[in-house]
Amino acid sequence: MARPRQFDEEQAVDAAMRAFWAAGYEGTSTQELCTATGLGRSSIYNTFSSKRDLFERALRRYMREKNSGISAVLDGNGSAKDKVRALLWQVVDSPQDDPLGCLVVNATVELGPHDAELAGLLRADLDARLSALAMTIVAGQRADDIDKSRDATDLAQFVIATIGGMRVAARGGASRETLEAIACVALDCL
């Protein structure tokens, strides 16, 4: 009879997510995953089958968490421009305990070109965010809150690219003031 698990699987995925977020897929060794999760190798492989499987679960968790924050902003009160401002300021005001950068951006660069399954997952995530943001921008254009001379999808792509770029800049050491300046320039483009 198999022994029951003595750990919280979701806590292990969360700990692995943070390890992958900080160091990337290739940069995170199995030993580092053991240290981060507090699990032994056998527990990791018995539960998740492979490092790749654990990474995918961690990436999905990251997407759920980040996208729930995006949805809360886009579904909330305020003008479309205020909602975009709030999304940009989520980067400026990132929690101190979050690793710098973006796990989605990192995975897109590191694994997207080499892993068709993850590339599809990343594309679906981008498409969902793009669609939700474009709908908000269309509403803002109808309300004369956002420039109507530009295509809403193009503006949504720009905002998403700006957010990703801000996360990369933060990882590279950009100051809060620099991130605020980038956000303000982006808002001026709307």
pLDDT of the residue at 7: 64
123's tokens: 């594309």
Query: pLDDT tens across 4-13, in order?
Result: 456 688 999 9
| CA 73 remoteness from chain centre | 15
What is the tally of structural domains in the chain?
1
Q: Assign residue 143 the CATH number of its domain.
A: 1.10.357.10
Model confidence, pTM: 0.90
Domain hosting residue 92, numbered range:
59-188
In a domain, 98, yes or no: yes
pLDDT of the residue at 95: 85
In a domain, 173, yes or no: yes
In a domain, 2, yes or no: no
Q: Report residues of the chain scoring pLDDT below 70.
A: 1-7
pLDDT of the residue at 5: 52
In a domain, 170, yes or no: yes
In a domain, 3, yes or no: no
